[in-house]
Amino acid sequence: MALLHVNFFSKALGVASSVEVILPENEQGIGVTASGGTALPRVLYLLHGYSDDHTIWQRRTSIERYAAGHNLAVIMPAVNHSFYCNEQGGERYWDYVAHELPEVMHRFFRLSDRPEDTFVAGLSMGGYGALKLAMNYPERFGAAASFSGAVDIITMADRKGADWKRIFGRRKVEGTDCDLFHLMDKNAAAAKKLRLYVSCGTADFLYGQHQRFIPALREKGWNVTSYEEPDAVHEWGFWDREIAKFIPWMLEE
């Protein structure tokens, strides 16, 4: 796999942005399976959590090795503490991730643009971001995953303090396109087509959100696979295991 450190000027953010990109190769070194084939690579947008950045998946997991052999490109952007939203008092990270980033990546690289070849996943804050993208634009993705996701941000308003005020200000969140429970109803017509994978450890501080979210998805008819790992907490061992499982699951291999 080829690893590229991409820096470009973002119009949405008004500043230079950084993205890590893994691209498949037909030849690999010892111990790594080559991708093979001539089809355009499938694409996984892989999103970081609240305390991390675009480099973290490369540093804490074997994502490059897991992607090898699947003709899969992995795109890892940086969004700071934005919760993948347009901030009331800051930057327009939702416009960046949802619209500008895909356009720029397809302009820079030869990638498949078919929905069935396009996926998104993330952990914690990034799990929320991944589901927000897929549930807002279900026609663009074949599958999406949240690992230990902050899937019910309405209940987190009192936790984030200054960050929450910077992101949302006095804007209403509940019942908007930032509210995953609202999106269950709004885009319920896509519930059967889009495949969702949502996991959490039973000892994770976000497990209560997971327990509320999964029954609500199923009640609305969404196509969701749920996994709860006994005693797992909010940590990279769990997320490494989960991304290794999710890639063949999303590709139905």
Question: For residue 231, what is the domain's CATH number?
Answer: 3.40.50.1820
CB contact set of 82 (below 8 Å; sequence gap of 6+): 90, 91, 93, 94, 167
For 246-250, what is the mean pLDDT?
Answer: 98
Which segments of the chain are extended strands (E)? 2-10, 15-23, 42-47, 72-77, 118-123, 143-147, 195-201, 223-229
pLDDT value at 145 more than 80: yes
Q: List the single range of 12-16, 59-63, 67-71, 162-166 with lowest mean pLDDT.
A: 162-166
- What is the reported pLDDT for 9? 98
Tell me the average pLDDT of the chain.
93
Q: CA-to-CA distance for 90 and 70, rounded, in angstroms?
A: 38
Model confidence pTM above 0.85: yes
Q: CA-to-CA distance for 213 and 173, rounded, in angstroms?
A: 17
pLDDT value at 194 more than 80: yes
Q: Could you tell me the residue range of the domain that residue 199 belongs to?
A: 2-251
Q: List the single range of 90-94, 159-163, 171-175, 180-184 with lowest mean pLDDT.
A: 159-163
- What is the reported pLDDT for 190? 83
Q: How many domains does the chain have?
A: 1
pLDDT value at 96 more than 70: yes
For 27-46, what is the mean pLDDT?
Answer: 77
Q: What is the percent of the chain with per-residue pLDDT over 70, rounded to a whole number?
A: 93
pLDDT value at 93 more than 80: yes
Q: List the single range of 85-94, 110-119, 200-209 with lowest mean pLDDT.
A: 85-94
With bands split at pLDDT 50, 70 and 90, how would you rate the model's confidence at 30? low
233: enclosing H helix or E strand: none
Q: How crowded is the C-beta side of 139, counted as CA atoms within 13 Å?
A: 2
pLDDT value at 119 more than 60: yes
